[in-house]
Every structure is written in C-alpha cells, then in structure tokens.
Chain A
C-alpha cells in the first residue's frame, strides 16, 4: 500500500527566508513523487515531480524538491519565500504502475509573513 506523511500541519516562515515543507513516503515499488499547491476554494496546481534521474528536481515558481531514497523523503524547498507562496501544499506518491492512483498527504499550510 502507498502512503504519504506530511508531519507538519503548519509552517511559518519570514519573507525572504528559505522554506522547507517535509514529506516522507511509503510505496512497495519505485515511486513517482509530486508536489501540489492549493489556494482557497481552488483545485490543486501541479508544482513538480520526480520520476527518475537527478535527485533534485526544479518546478514552478522557484520551488524545488530533493528525493532521498534512503530516507524515503521528498522535501519541498524554496531559497527565498514570498508572501504569495502562502497556501496549502500537498505531497503525493504513485507506484510506477500505470493503473495506480495518486495518494496524497494531509497537507501542510505554509504562511509566509512579511
């Protein structure tokens, strides 16, 4: 069975500081890993994904994430946070099989304070 853990319900960071949103996963085979962002009353927007290759993947809006197989982690990072980054962030995992659904974590609310 697949699962995702986002250990922090809330992350607060000052504008201009680096941010990290944590994610660990469990999957029986090799994982596809994803990050999404959600603004109030909107659907989820895709930020970035890891399929294979470089452990550091870059995505939209200056976000990046680092895949660590030994720690089964895929933390989301950004070097300098903006107030507009404040939103709900979801990590998701999918087994490398076409017919498996994405499984999401419970989300982490990021607040960037000016």
Chain B
C-alpha cells in the first residue's frame, strides 16, 4: 500500500531563517506531488506541483521554492522566512487516471515569529 510521510509536524522559526520541509511517498512510482498551504483552517492554496523529477510548476509567486531530487521526494524551501509564511503546509500525491484522487500527509504547522 502507498503511504506518505511529511515532517516535522510542527515548527517554530524566527523571521529571516531558512526553511526545509520534506515529504516522501512510498509504494508507488512516478507520482504527481503537490504542496498546498492552508491559512487559518480554511481553503487550500496550491503552491507547487510536480509531475516528475526536476519538473516543478509554481502556482503563486511566493517566498518559497520546491524541489524534487528523487522520484518520491518533494521538498519545500525558503531562504528567508517572512511572518506571512506562517500556516499549515500539506503535501499530497496522486497518480494517473485510475486513481486521480490525491492523498495527503498529516501536515506541518509552521509558525514564524
């Protein structure tokens, strides 16, 4: 079966510090991978998605970047965090036509102070 791991669960970082959130998927190959951000317990904003290694699409200009160094690894980064980067970050994966639904990690609660 497929599983998705996202860590850490919570993170408190000072303004101006770097960020690295990691997400890995097991039990599938060549998944589509996604990073979403959820503010104040409401809607999901798509930040990045990737259809393959090294292929990253950015949906919204951000103080953030994403990388996919391996097939089942997706990393969200920032060189210098802003207060407005605080939120709940969710990684997800999906694959193909037969199973087009996305499956989510447990999320990372980021607080920038």
Interface residues of A (CB under 8 A from B): 32, 34, 36, 40-46, 49, 51, 88, 90, 92, 94, 96, 98-99, 101-107
Given A41-B107, A43-B107, decide whether A102 and B43 contact each other with a Cβ distance below 8 A.
Answer: no
How does the 8 Å CB contact mask read for B86-113 relative to A, with 1 for contact and 0 for none? Answer: 0010101010110011111111010000
Q: Which of these, B32, B43, B44, B104, contacts A99 with CB under 8 Å?
A: B32
Interface residues of B (CB under 8 A from A): 6, 32, 34, 36, 41-44, 46, 49, 51, 57, 59, 88, 90, 92, 94, 96-97, 100-107, 109
- Residue in B43, B101, B105, B107 with the greatest tally of chain A CB atoms within 10 Å: B101
Q: Which residues in A have their C-beta under 8 angstroms from that of B90?
A: 43-44
Nearest neighbor of B94 in chain A, beta-carbon distance: A102
Nearest neighbor of A103 in chain B, beta-carbon distance: B46
Other A-B contacts than A44-B90, A49-B100, A104-B44, 14 sampled, CB-CB below 8 A, are: A32-B101, A41-B88, A42-B106, A44-B92, A46-B102, A49-B101, A88-B41, A98-B32, A99-B51, A101-B32, A101-B49, A104-B46, A105-B43, A107-B42
Contact: B103 with A46, CB < 8 Å?
yes
